[in-house]
Structure 1
Amino acid sequence: MALEFASEGASVVAVDIDEDGLDEVTSKIAANGGEAIGVVGDVSDRDSVEAVVEQATDEYGTIDVLCNNAGILDDYAPVGETSEELWDRVMDINLKGVFLLTKAALPALMDGDEEGVVINTASIAGKVAGGGGAAYTSSKHGVIGFTKQLSHDYGPEIRANAVCPGFIETGMTEDMIEQTPDEVHEIVQETPAERYAEPEEVAQVVAFIASDNASFMHGTAVDVDGGWLVD
Structure 2
Amino acid sequence: MKRINLKTLSRSGLDEWILSVGEKKFRAAQLWSWMYQKNETDFTRMTDLARDFRGKLEETAEAGTLVLENLRVSAASGTRKYLWRLEDGLRVESVFIPDGVRRTVCVSSQVGCAMGCTFCATGTMGFVRNLSAFEILEQFLGVWRDVGEKPTNIVVMGMGEPFLNYDAVIRAMTILNHQEGSAMGARKITLSTSGIVPQILRFAEEKQPFQLAISLNASSDAQRSEIMPVNRT
TM-score of the pair, normalised by structure 2: 0.33
Higher strand share: 2
Q: Which is higher, the Rg of structure 1 or of structure 2? A: 2
Higher helix share: 1
Higher relative contact order (CA 8 A, sep 6+): 1
